[in-house]
Amino acid sequence: MLLASLPVRALDAGAPGLLPAPAQPQVVPDRAAAERAKHAEEALKRCEAEKQRLAAEKQRLENALAESERRPPRVVEKLVEKPVPDSGAAKRAAQSEREAQQLRKELAQLRKDLAEARANAAPPPKSAPVAAGDAAAACWRDGAWVSGCGFAAYAGGPTMRVVGGDLRYRMGSPEAEKDRSTDEGPQHEVAFARRFALAETETTVAQYLACVEEKACDEPEWRQAGSAYHYQTGTDTYYRDRDAHLSDRPISGVSWHNAQQYVRWLSGKGQGKYELPSEAMWEYAARGGSPGRWYFGDDESRLAEHAWYGNNAGGKLHAVGTTQRKEHAWGLRDMHGNVWEWVADCWHDNYHGAPGDGRVWEGGDCGRRVWRGGSWSLNARNARSAIRDRVAPVNRSGHAGFRPSRMLP
């Protein structure tokens, strides 16, 4: 599908939508080895106590036996009575010795088991592999990044969500998928070496204008001085009619170059490096672990609950994160609809030769960059997880915005 060749206002035909996001699973480490070590330590203490008790009992019995053997004979009616040894005490002492020997064997085995348990026990959790003061550290627990956990890029800045899953998936759409385009294939395996975070929502007007105020980003088309599209003074009310200027709407009227300005600025506001996501990163996040047409599956009748698109947006942009349902596995919003999202890659007509590690795919046609996710004006087909489009990087449209990503260590 070629949107780049159409005038900006010609894209109003339909309206895709936005996306929700639900709960956030937690990472729980395996503590079995540590538990075995703990139980072995306790058993060892019990054995030592029992050993001491039996040794004391043995000593008492041996003393009693010796005492009985030393007792002088008693004279009864002038008869000398020989001392009678306490045979029961001797038997008890022998039994105690046998029990002590058995306990010594058990103790030796327990010490061996304890040494093995200590050797196999998980090391104590490492601290987050980020710099001190980095808000991302809140999402590092028990030695791993927590799926769906959110942290602020900087105080008051966009919330980033840690993607979950096993960092592997099949990118693109199967040939049998309804409404599929040939540029969505062939499907291919992608495996990321590191986990990453993606902004929970599309970058908002308020977030982008913070960059403008610090003179690090250019004005969007609808605020540019002298622009016919200026939301206050322009003769063309295209952006104003679509509520593009409201602070909680996704930023629109910005080019790929403007998006790059923003992520460079964002990298200097807090900890870590922020970038536009690659196509592979964007699609992995959009799917949320689902191979279906949308993150919630293939049922098109449910799309209006999860996205702002042509059938329910009413020809306007909508506040980010306001769809009826928010059930994305990793807490992401608006991955389908509201605005198309710029990603970093150059355009390729298909996935033949696409990198398998999820990195940005350069080469190809870098005179056009990639949009993903659909917008408020288009139909359900154009809001699918696999949908792609290409546009000149200088293009500024009321249909396109972006969201930043951050690769985690």
Residue 4: pLDDT above 90? no
In this predicted structure, what is the pLDDT of residue 134? Answer: 94
The predicted-structure confidence for 236-268, as pLDDT tens digits, reads as follows 999 999 999 999 999 999 999 999 999 999 999
218 secondary structure, DSSP code: P
Between CA 280 and CA 343 the distance in angstroms is 9
H helical segments located in 71-186: 87-120
Tokens representing residue 252 in the block? 């629109």
State the CB neighbour count (10 A cutoff) for residue 237: 13
User: Cα separation of 213 and 207, whole Å?
Assistant: 10
Whole-model pTM over 0.85: no
Residue 276 pLDDT exceeds 50: yes
Residue 295 is predicted with a pLDDT of 98
Query: Cα torsion for 245, 251, 257, 259, to the nearest 10°?
Result: 140
Structural domains of the chain in order of their starting residue, each with its CATH number: 8-28+128-407 (3.90.1580.10), 32-120 (1.10.287)
In whole angstroms, how far apart are CA 296 and each of 19, 26, 208, 244? 10, 21, 29, 28
**What is residue 50's predicted lDDT score, i.e. its pLDDT?**
76
For residues 398 and 3, the answer to whether their CB atoms sit within 8 Å is no
Q: What tokens does 180 get?
A: 């599929």
User: Phi-psi region for residue 239, left (φ > 0), alpha (ψ -120 to 50) or beta?
Assistant: alpha
3-state DSSP assignment of residue 120: helix
Helix H or strand E encompassing 169: strand 168-171
Answer yes or no: is pLDDT of 51 > 50.
Answer: yes
What are the b/e assignments for 99-132, b being 16+ CB within 10 Å?
ebeebeeebeebeebbeebeeebeeeeeebebee
Token pair belonging to 278:
């690659």
Decide the pairing of beta strands 388-391 and 365-372: antiparallel
The per-residue pLDDT of the chain, averaged, comes to 87
Burial of 144 per CB tally in 10 Å (0-12, 13-18, 19+): middle
Opening angle at CA 127, ends 123 and 128, nearest 5: 130
What's the mean pLDDT in 383-407? 98
* 65 within 8 A of 89, measured Cβ to Cβ: yes
CB atoms near residue 317 (< 10 Å): 30
Distance CA 353, CA 131 (A): 37
The per-residue pLDDT for 317 is 98
Q: What is the DSSP string of 308-330?
A: B-TTTSTTS---TT-SS----TT
pLDDT at residue 354, as a whole number: 98
| For residues 369-393, average pLDDT | 98
Q: How many residues are recorded in the chain?
A: 409
